[in-house]
Every structure is written in C-alpha cells, then in structure tokens.
Amino acid sequence: MPKLHVIVGAGQTGANAAVAMRGAGFDGRILLLGEEAHAPYERPPLSKSALTDDPEPAPGWFYPTEKFATLDIEVRLGTVATELDPGGHTLALSDGAVLAFDRLLLATGGRARKLPVPGGEHALLLRTLEDARRIRPKLVPGARVVCVGAGVIGLETASSAHQRGCRVTVLEAAPGVMGRAMTPDMARWMERLHTSRGVALHLGCGVSAIEPGRVIAADGRVFPADVVIAGVGMVRNTELARAAGLEVENGIVVDEFGRTGVSDIYAAGDVAAFWHPSLHRRLRLEAWKHAQNHGIAVGRAMAGVAEQYDDVPWYWTDQHGVTVQVAGLPHESAATILRGDDAATSFSAFHLDLNGRVVAATGVNAARDVRAALTMIQKGMAPDPAKLADPATKLQDLLKAG
Ligand SMILES: Cc1cc2nc3c(=O)[nH]c(=O)nc-3n(C[C@H](O)[C@H](O)[C@H](O)COP(=O)(O)OP(=O)(O)OC[C@H]3O[C@@H](n4cnc5c(N)ncnc54)[C@H](O)[C@@H]3O)c2cc1C
C-alpha cells in the first residue's frame, strides 16, 4: 500500500505544500481536501482588482487545473474534514468517508469574523471569492459604504469602494488604523492617505448596532449606509485540531518544521502558530508570502526534507494606488528612521529597537529598500542611523558594511 499524506485545506498553504511535497520526492498518495468549491485561488485580489476592475477579473488560480493531475495529487473539493483521531491516524470527512493517513497537514486557515453586535449579520464579510462577488455589485457610484474596522481588509475595501465612486466612511474602535501591523507613525501616514483622498475616517469609534440603512456607533452617532462591510479580523479554523487534543494557543502550535506535538501531524499557514528560530519567538502570520513559503517548507518536511522555516515576516497592501510593504515586527520598534520624504510618492522607514537594530521596515512604493531591510532584520544589523536616513547612501553598501 502506498503511503497517504492528507492535506486539510485547499488554500494557498495547502496547495503549495502538496506541490512541494511531491517535488521533494514523496512518491505515495497526496490528497488535498478543500471545503470550498474552488481549486486553490489567490485571496489578495479579492479586496483589490476583484472589486475595482471591469470586467470582473478571473480568479487567480495558483496552478493550472492539469498541474495537480500531472503531479498525481488528488484534489477533493466541497469536502470538510470533520473529525481527527490522532492516535488512530484517521480522518472523517463530511461525505462519510474515513481516511487512514500516514501524515496529515492542517492548513485550515481562517474565516472572516462576524461583527458581534445586534444586526451584525447585515454586514458583508470578505474572505472568499463568493464574498467578493457579493460585495462587488454593491459598489456603485454614490453608494454610501461604511467599512467597520481599519485593518488591511477594511482599508483595502475602503480604497476599492472609493475607486468605484462610492462615498466611503471607515469606523475603527481603536485609536489608530492597522493595529499591530504597522508602527504608529506609519499608521498615521496611512490615515492621512485615506483622509486626503476623501475617505471619512472615524477613530475611537466602536459600533453598537447595524440597522436598516444605518450604522449606530457606541457613542450614539448615526452613519447612513447603503452598504456595510465588516473587516474585523479572522477567526482561525482550529476546531478540528482542538477537538483532537492538539495544542492550540493563538493558532495550532508547531515547531520550526511545522510539526505539532503529535507525531505525523503538521500545521502551516494562517492557522499555525510556529516557532521562528531566528526571531526566537512563536509567531502566527496572515500574509501571502508566509502562506506560500510555510506551505512549501512544511510540505517538504513531510516528505522527509526538513529545513527550518525562518522567513522574515513580510506583507504588502495596495491602497489608493500606493503599494505599501511591511517587513519584520513593527510592534517591536522603538524609533523610526525616515529615508526620503514622506510627502513624496516613494520613501521608506526603518524601524529600530532600543539597541539600534533594524526590527522592521515600511516601504511606500519602495520595494528595493524593503528587500534590503529584510536582510538587515534577518541578520540583526544595526546600521548607522544617519547613513540609513540619507538616500544618497546606498543600502547595498550598508549591507556590505554590516
Ligand atoms: C481579502 C484578502 C486580501 C488579502 N490581501 C493580502 C495582501 O495584500 N498581502 C498579503 O500579504 N496577504 C494578503 N492576504 C492574506 C493571504 O491571502 C492569506 O494569508 C492566505 O490566503 C492564507 O492561506 P491559507 O491557505 O493558510 O489559509 P486560507 O486561505 O484561509 O485557506 C484555508 C482553506 O482551508 C479550508 N478549510 C478550513 N477548514 C477545513 C476543513 N475542516 N475541511 C476542509 N477544508 C477546510 C478553507 O475553506 C480554506 O479554503 C489577504 C487575505 C484576504 C482574505
């Protein structure tokens, strides 16, 4: 009997793990199980081009359909894994089947958090292709759109709605946008970006109810709304793991190879809280590059090619025609060194800890600077702040010096 490796979750992480597992030489059966009806597709366009472009763009499939067949990867869509027995190495499915696996990967990601207020069910959510297709036709010129939550999804949706000619209001309960995903100074820059384009941004403004045609704020203010979209975070799909007795904290707990505490069971991507060997802490990330590379690393580890996964965190966001990239751990920042003019169309900011080490960087249309920053963060470099601030000093020279 050939060995069976089952991957639960046919998202970005699961798809990449399957392909990488085969590429690393695993010659048994690979079964990729997905609750959604679609082959693995890209989520980033859902809050961007899928809402703004005409005609509606085709989904961004990760792989052409024939790729999985070519690699002899079985893909079973519209199927939910319902019960995991780690000791017995079995997995029950929604179609009644029970699989006996040799190794299992949980790449179950997350789902959009519902707005926990009366009438919250009327707010549209954005995680899946269907969600984007529900929102898209509502973004008509002049529509009053209220986005609840000013994280990446809320702000990108606000930007897309604005691009469609909607009148956009963003309500955020916290005192600033982007939570811990950006340093406070760069978050303020994002706030100015939105308000300068005409988005009405209300910070410190919690929502207490959604009523027909309006949103009621906790302080009693009333915001008229034709469309309400909630971008209030992601709920991790950890139920299967938790019920099976796996350790779950902020996500499914795994080591630097994606292994849970139970032999032959792995987790990766948005759902996994993994040990980062060079940053010396447990992290859980919700980002495209992480889903890709963690999936690949853990897929390879399951095939017997175990390499520590230690990518520096990185994500990008597109808002109002600007591409912002963030590398590292922004919430560790003690000081920001601005490189260039933050009123210009392109500049970067390097964020240092108390020892002067680069711990994070933000690039506004400045991909090259962020690439250099990734190396500085990885190596724990502490470049001369004056040189870092001077655009005339090449970052490559600082890297060599470091
Ligand atoms: C709208 C949007 C925009 C984004 N934009 C950006 C961006 O600009 N930049 C960036 O860096 N990142 C972005 N991201 C983040 C990035 O897309 C995610 O980090 C990535 O999709 C995570 O992949 P994943 O496979 O780990 O999880 P998911 O994409 O959540 O996939 C998990 C899959 O598992 C399935 N599943 C769950 N439980 C079961 C079960 N029991 N049985 C079977 N199947 C199951 C789910 O249905 C889902 O299809 C964005 C995300 C969203 C939603």
Listed as ranges, residues in the chain with pLDDT below 70 are none
Q: CATH topology for 322-401?
A: Enolase-like; domain 1 (3.30.390)
Where in the chain are the domains?
Answer: 4-109+234-302, 114-230, 322-401
C-alpha radius of gyration, the chain, whole number: 22
Q: What is the pLDDT of residue 402?
A: 75
Q: What is the pLDDT of residue 180?
A: 84
Angle at 351 between CA 347 and CA 355, to 5 degrees: 145
Q: What is the pLDDT of residue 65?
A: 85
Q: Which protein residue's CA is at the shortest distance from atom 17 of ligand 1?
A: 43
> How many angstroms separate the CA atoms of 214 and 226, rounded?
7
Ligand 1 centre distance from Cα of residue 42 (Å): 8
Contact, 252 vs 104, CB < 8 A? no
Q: What is the pLDDT of residue 1?
A: 84
Q: Determine the residue type at 326.
A: V
Q: What is the pLDDT of residue 24?
A: 98
Ligand 1 centre distance from Cα of residue 186 (Å): 26
Ligand 1 centre distance from Cα of residue 400 (Å): 37
Ligand 1 centre distance from Cα of residue 109 (Å): 5
Contact, 337 vs 388, CB < 8 A? yes
Q: What is the pLDDT of residue 90?
A: 98
Helix (H, G, I), strand (E, B) or coil at 43: coil
114-230 and 322-401 share one CATH topology? no
* Candidate CATH numbers 3.40.718.10, 3.50.50.60, 1.10.3720.10, 3.40.50.720; the one for domain 4-109+234-302: 3.50.50.60
* 237 to 219, 251, 289, 355: CA distances (angstroms): 33, 9, 20, 38
Q: Which protein residue's CA is at the shortest distance from atom 5 of ligand 1?
A: 44
Ligand 1 centre distance from Cα of residue 143 (Å): 29
Quick one: which of 316, 388, 310 has its CA closest to 352? 388
| CATH number of the structural domain 114-230 | 3.50.50.60
Ligand 1 centre distance from Cα of residue 394 (Å): 37
Helix (H, G, I), strand (E, B) or coil at 4: strand
Q: What is the pLDDT of residue 178?
A: 96
250: number of Cβ within 10 Å:
12
Q: Quick one: residue 189, left, alpha or beta (phi over 0 = left, psi -120 to 50 = alpha)?
A: alpha
Q: What is the pLDDT of residue 126?
A: 98
Q: Which protein residue's CA is at the shortest distance from atom 31 of ligand 1?
A: 11
Q: Please, which residues bridge with residue 337 across strands?
A: 350
Q: Please, which residues bridge with residue 7 across strands?
A: 32, 105
How would you write 53-89 as a 3-class SS string? CCCCCCCCECCCHHHHHHCCEEEEECCCEEEEECCCC
Ligand 1 atom nearest to CA at 286: 19
Q: What is the DSSP string of 199-263?
A: -EEEET--EEEEETTEEEETTS-EEE-SEEEE---EEE--HHHHHTT--BSSSEEE-TTSB-SST
> How many angstroms separate the CA atoms of 55 and 58, rounded?
9
Ligand 1 centre distance from Cα of residue 112 (Å): 10
Of 49, 288, 312, 326, which is best to mutate to test ligand 1, by the most ligand atoms within 8 angstroms of its C-beta? 288
Q: Which protein residue's CA is at the shortest distance from atom 28 of ligand 1?
A: 109
Helix (H, G, I), strand (E, B) or coil at 110: strand
Q: What is the pLDDT of residue 124?
A: 98
**Residues near ligand 1 (Cβ within 6 A):** 8-14, 33-36, 43-44, 46-47, 80-81, 107-110, 126-127, 153, 237, 240, 269-270, 286-289, 291, 315-317
> How many angstroms separate the CA atoms of 337 and 361, rounded?
9
Q: Which protein residue's CA is at the shortest distance from atom 49 of ligand 1?
A: 11
Ligand 1 atom nearest to CA at 47: 1
Mean pLDDT of the chain: 97
Helix (H, G, I), strand (E, B) or coil at 318: strand
Ligand 1 centre distance from Cα of residue 380 (Å): 30
> How many angstroms separate the CA atoms of 251 and 275, rounded?
12
Q: Which protein residue's CA is at the shortest distance from atom 45 of ligand 1?
A: 9
> How many angstroms separate the CA atoms of 126 and 124, rounded?
7
Ligand 1 centre distance from Cα of residue 315 (Å): 14
Of 33, 35, 246, which is best to mutate to test ligand 1, by the most ligand atoms within 8 angstroms of its C-beta? 35
Cis-peptide, bond into residue 118, ω within 30° of zero? no
Q: Quick one: residue 52, left, alpha or beta (phi over 0 = left, psi -120 to 50 = alpha)?
A: alpha
Of 36, 77, 237, which is best to mutate to test ligand 1, by the most ligand atoms within 8 angstroms of its C-beta? 237
Quick one: which of 87, 91, 95, 81 has its CA closest to 10? 81
